[in-house]
Amino acid sequence: MKELVEYIARAVVDHPDAVQVTQVEEDGRTILKVQVADEDRGKIIGRQGRVAEAIRTLLRVAAIKQGTRATLQID
């Protein structure tokens, strides 16, 4: 799942080298934290949060296929 989020985030932003994805296990679920350059924060969130919601949807589908739960945080 981490690779999926990292791949999508790198494709969306202008500075793909600045993308960092951290995976944390907490309370039986996976939390993926995405850090991007300050000027790319708007691109990863998208207009009215549409890009972030699309990434979250894909992440949920991948998590269900693995039998777990996952959430996305954008820092």
Question: Would you say 55 and 72 are in contact if contact means Cβ atoms under 8 Å apart?
Answer: yes
DSSP state letters, 26-73: ETTEEEEEEE--GGGHHHHH-GGGHHHHHHHHHHHHHHHHHTS-EEEE
User: If you ran DSSP here, which 8-state letter would residue 14 be given?
Assistant: S
* pLDDT tens digits for range 21-70: 999 998 889 999 999 999 999 999 999 999 999 999 999 999 999 999 99
Q: Which residue has the tokens 């207009």?
A: 47
pLDDT at 75: 86
Domain definitions of the chain by residue range: 2-74
pLDDT at 27: 87
Which residues, 6+ apart, have CB-to-CB distance to 45 below 8 Å?
A: 51, 52, 74
Class in CATH terms, 2-74 = alpha beta
pLDDT at 28: 85
